[in-house]
Structure 1
Amino acid sequence: MRIWVACASILILSGCTAAPSADSPSVFPAGSVVDYQLGGKYPPPAGVTVVTRDSLDEPEPGLYSICYVNGFQTQPGTEWPIELVVRGDSGAALVDPNWPDENIIDVSTAAKRTDAAARVTAMIDRCASAGFDAVELDNLDSYTRSGGALTLGDAVDFATILVAHAHDLGLAAGQKNTGELGTRGRDDIGFDFAVAEECDQYEECGSFTEVYGDRVIDIEYTDELRRSFAEVCADAATPASTILRDRDLSPPGSSGYVYDRC
């Protein structure tokens, strides 16, 4: 964890925290034991050294903590200006078919990227103020759901802005999915590690490990395993930091909770 040197008073939900050193981003610990807690925070299982939580939760003391930020789609319950979200043929805001309470952020021009970044970086600021070590920027691949309004290049340009902001705050930045980026994620955007969902299921783990080595988190889900989790873990292509979770990422005590690791 970073060392705190001053007390901040903005964008903090509770307590007194401080700004991290901006000399360089924190170093993601390669090959770590991970837990993925987007369904609600809880004490991590024994042996876990890295945990991901939502940006409105707090980091886990003593562990390397990653802050989830919905970087390319709107957070449920938030309202964005209509000019900053992609619109369909009817003129209404386009929604992600899998997440109907999220709109796709319009990053098609430099001006829109600047305005949208001001909103997303506020969440990144909150992550830094709360004491997280890194951010995970989700839905970079939303350009594929934009009906042609956005391109991979637009996503790359917007991601570059967000990653630079995270680095300025001393946070490492994680690429979420989007294996088609190849080395551009690391070399052009500046991502420090990757978070892949179901890379074994889709047989694309190499798209991430060939770029980031052991700095890859893979989450496989119980409802779509193509083989047993033991077979997943035995495969040399599987990232070292691979875990098995229930699709809802439920906390312990919930009926559907599942957690296992390689």
Structure 2
Amino acid sequence: MCCAGSYEDWRPDASQFLASDKGAPLSGWPGEWWLDVRSSNVRRIMQQRIAMCKSKGFVAVDPDNVDGYTNPNGVGLTAADQLSYNTFLANEAHAQGMAIGLKNDLDQLTQLTPYFDFFVNEQCNQYSECGMYAPSKVAGKPVWNIEYTSTNFNKGCPQQATMGMRTILKLKPHVFAIHRVLN
């Protein structure tokens, strides 16, 4: 689905966002700004994106950057704002008959597990975050991890095997390859 918590100036629907929808730039990502996820306009655009995914035959969406409240976002987002928005995204995807994955927002994982169907983490081996997915393991929901270096991919987390987590190695931009799945 692309980014649901950030504005990207190259997206086809970029002109639909209001100036007031945009917050601070994302550090290290030119052309990208945090969104004010409380905005009814932002939510309307995300509803349209989810509907577009459904019309193209998608069975699931995996929105990115849904942890703006943990970053210098420029619009004063709170944990409650983010929880409301992420729940909104999950409900919208389910209303369209699609599954939804949660990427990021580890601090609200326990609260959001009932609403999401699967989970995606980037670099949990590198940042020792794999164990934080215990609520999803208890709920019987799948967790995918993406590592960007062979070192971190091969290292694994001590909890990874018991978590039933699947790890993908992505060495090139925009190209995923499952070189090995760890159980």
Counterparts of 1:240 and 1:180, CA distance in 2: 19
Paired letter, 2:167: T
Q: Which has the higher helix share?
A: 2
Select the structure of larger CA radius of gyration. Answer: 1
Matched, 1:81 2:18: yes
- State how 1:153-168 maps to structure 2 within 5 Å: 153-168=80-95
Gaps of 5+ in 1: 1-67, 87-93, 252-257
Matched, 1:95 2:21: no
Aligned residue pairs, count:
172
Matched, 1:260 2:179: yes
- State how 1:17-166 maps to structure 2 within 5 Å: 68-77=1-10, 78-79=14-15, 80-86=17-23, 94-108=24-38, 112=39, 114-143=40-69, 144-147=71-74, 149-166=76-93
- CA shift for structure 1 position 247: 5.1
- CA shift for structure 1 position 184: 0.7
Relative to the length of structure 1, the TM-score reads: 0.60
Relative to the length of structure 2, the TM-score reads: 0.83
- CA shift for structure 1 position 135: 0.6
Contact 1:205 1:239 in 2 (8 A): no
Paired letter, 1:84: D
Counterparts of 1:233 and 1:97, CA distance in 2: 27
Matched, 1:230 2:167: no
- Call closer, same or farther: CA 1:192–1:259 in 2, change over 3 Å: closer
Counterparts of 1:103 and 1:148, CA distance in 2: 11
| Aligned twin of 2:128 | 203
Q: Comparing both chains, which one has the higher relative contact order based on Cα–Cα distances under 8 Å and sequence gaps of 6 or more?
A: 1
The Cα offsets for residues 25-79 of structure 1, whole Å up to 9 and x where unpaired, read as: xxxxxxxxxxxxxxxxxxxxxxxxxxxxxxxxxxxxxxxxxxx331111133223
Gaps of 5+ in 2: none
Contact 1:72 1:142 in 2 (8 A): yes
Helix, strand or coil at the partner of 1:99 = coil
Counterparts of 1:98 and 1:247, CA distance in 2: 18
How large is the Cα RMSD of the aligned pairs? Answer: 2.2
Counterparts of 1:247 and 1:154, CA distance in 2: 34
Contact 1:140 1:159 in 2 (8 A): yes
| Aligned twin of 1:57 | none
